[in-house]
């Protein structure tokens, strides 16, 4: 039985959840951009990702291969791991993944293994993108999982974060600030130019 006081709380909760689920692709991409900022603050190539289920964020990640000494620590992988832990299941059916940069082939593979239903990305990656820029694994009929893919959401902003980052890196390198693990070999290399 729902008591009147509980009913008010329940009502407010429903409104709150409703607001969350009314978030669109652009809103979620803005959240992913915030995560890209966290990667940048840690000296990593700025890419951010999140996993959403029924309008609620259940996994967040940002690029961290340098700090974790882990070539698989792309933003998507981190977000997928967190989401799977959160629901206690490696299958993330009915989930959407938002990422600021087009996923690479490794991340596309993980997306397929996780059975993610939809992928939304920001900037295209013409050097390693596996959603149509270099190759399109999601259109490969011999693979058995086909997520719906939407590209180009806030593409300009997502790309600018990367190109600004590499411009700053070049400036630092010119000024003699050396970092052997510059991150230029990590995701987003095509934004060096
Ligand atoms: Zn990747």
Q: For the range 130-134, what are the long-range contacts, defined as Cβ-Cβ under 8 Å and sequence gap of 24 or more? A: 130/102, 130/103, 130/104, 130/105, 131/102, 131/103, 132/102, 133/102
Work out the angle between the directed axes of helices 75-87 and 25-41 (0-180°, nearest 10). Answer: 110
End-to-end, the C-alpha distance of the chain in Å comes to: 63
pTM, 2 dp? 0.82
- Expressed in angstroms and rounded, the spacing between residue 170 Cα and the centre of ligand 1 is 23
Burial (0-12, 13-18, 19+ Cβ within 10 Å), 112: middle
- Expressed in angstroms and rounded, the spacing between residue 161 Cα and the centre of ligand 1 is 17
Work out the angle between the directed axes of helices 155-174 and 25-41 (0-180°, nearest 10). Answer: 10
Rounded CA separation 49/96 (Å): 11
Q: What is the DSSP string of 74-99?
A: -HHHHHHHHHHHHHT-S--TTEEEEE
Rounded CA separation 104/115 (Å): 16
Residue 72: the pLDDT is 98
Residue 16: the pLDDT is 56
- Expressed in angstroms and rounded, the spacing between residue 104 Cα and the centre of ligand 1 is 4
Rounded CA separation 17/192 (Å): 40
- Expressed in angstroms and rounded, the spacing between residue 73 Cα and the centre of ligand 1 is 8
Residue 187: the pLDDT is 55
- Expressed in angstroms and rounded, the spacing between residue 152 Cα and the centre of ligand 1 is 17
pLDDT in tens, the chain (193 residues): 445 555 556 546 555 555 555 689 999 999 999 999 999 999 999 999 999 999 999 999 999 999 999 999 999 999 999 999 999 999 999 999 999 999 999 999 999 999 999 999 999 999 999 999 999 999 999 988 889 999 999 999 999 999 999 999 999 888 886 654 444 445 565 675 4
Buried/exposed 154-190: b ≥16 CB within 10 Å, e otherwise: bbebbbebbeebbeebeeeeeeeeeeeebbeebbbbb
Residue-wise pLDDT for 113-163, tens only, equals 999 999 999 999 999 999 999 999 999 999 888 899 999 999 999 999 999
Q: Which residues are catalytic?
A: 76
Residue 174: the pLDDT is 87
């Amino acid at each position: 039985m729902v008591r009147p006081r509980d009913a008010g709380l329940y009502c407010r909760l429903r409104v709150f959840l409703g607001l969350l689920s009314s978030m669109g692709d652009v809103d979620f991409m803005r959240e992913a951009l915030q995560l890209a900022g966290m990667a940048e603050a840690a000296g990593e190539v700025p890419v951010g990702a999140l996993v959403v289920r029924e309008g609620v964020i259940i996994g967040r990640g940002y690029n961290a291969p340098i700090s974790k000494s882990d070539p698989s620590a792309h933003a998507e992988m981190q977000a997928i791991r967190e989401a799977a832990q959160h629901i206690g299941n490696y299958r993330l059916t009915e989930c959407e993944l938002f990422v600021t940069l087009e996923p690479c082939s490794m991340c596309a593979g993980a997306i397929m293994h996780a059975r993610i239903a939809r992928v939304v990305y920001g900037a295209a990656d013409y050097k390693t993108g596996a959603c149509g820029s270099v190759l399109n694994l999601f259109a490969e009929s011999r693979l058995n999982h086909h997520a719906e893919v939407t590209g180009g959401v806030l593409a300009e902003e997502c790309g600018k974060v990367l190109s600004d980052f590499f411009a700053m890196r070049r400036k630092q390198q010119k000024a003699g600030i050396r970092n052997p693990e510059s991150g230029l070999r990590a995701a987003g290399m095509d934004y060096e130019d």
